[in-house]
Amino acid sequence: MKKTLIIVMAILMLSVFTYSQSKIGIINAQKLLEQTKKGRSVAQKIENIGKQKQATLKNMQSEIKRLEKELMSPALNDATKEKKALELQNKRTEAKRFIEDTQREMQMMSQQEMVKLQEEIRPIIMRVGKEKGLTVILEITAVAYYDPAADITNDIIKIMDGQ
């Protein structure tokens, strides 16, 4: 029993010693996106496409409003009203589908761009980690507390924008 206790204590002390030798780095992915040239470029590209989609949707909504006004006209006969009502319904369905398709498209494009950016950043993160002798690098959102000295985000930004 005494021998087992000594072995367990030795293992615990060894693990504490090993843990104390670990150096951890922290990165802020949001800051990388906002403060690197490449990150801002990706964000701008996505924003520009979003603005184009918004303009298209605005035109669709204007057409819907026009049809709604036409449908309210007392001068329309029943056949024309029915035709306009069907056209209005089709335009609303088209707008709804456009919104759904745009959301899906924007989400996919955003994910693809982020994957490309991550592939570009990953070697830089690894390089900084090796240079600083880090054992682990974590993203800031996964950490409850950290010493600001462990944050290597600015080092990565300098390297990325220096390329």
Burial class from Cβ neighbours inside 10 Å (0-12, 13-18, 19+) for residue 107 reads exposed
What's the whole-model pTM score?
Answer: 0.69
Q: Is the predicted pLDDT of residue 5 greater than 60, yes or no?
A: no
Distance between CA 101 and CA 94 in Å, rounded?
10
- Contact residues for 114 (Cβ-Cβ < 8 A; gap 6+): 42
What is the per-residue pLDDT for 94?
Answer: 97
The neighbour count for residue 49, using CB atoms within 10 Å, is 15
Average pLDDT of the segment spanning 73-102:
92
Distance between CA 9 and CA 7 in Å, rounded?
5
Q: Coil, strand, or helix at residue 64?
A: helix
28 phi and psi, to 5 degrees? Answer: -110, 100
Distance between CA 84 and CA 67 in Å, rounded?
7
Q: What share of the chain is helix, strand, coil (3-state, %, to 5)?
A: 80, 5, 15
Q: Is the predicted pLDDT of residue 1 greater than 90, yes or no?
A: no
Confidence of residue 79 (pLDDT cuts 50, 70, 90): confident
Helix axes 78-131, 37-72, angle to 10 degrees: 170
Lowest mean pLDDT among 3-12, 59-68, 135-144, 148-157: 3-12
Q: State the DSSP H helix or E strand holding residue 27, giving kind and residue range, or none if neither.
A: strand 24-27
Task: Give buried/exposed letters for 52-78 (b at 16+ CB in 10 A, else e).
Answer: ebeeeeeebeeebeebeeebeeeeeee
pLDDT tens for each residue of 34-69 = 999 999 999 999 999 999 999 999 999 999 999 999
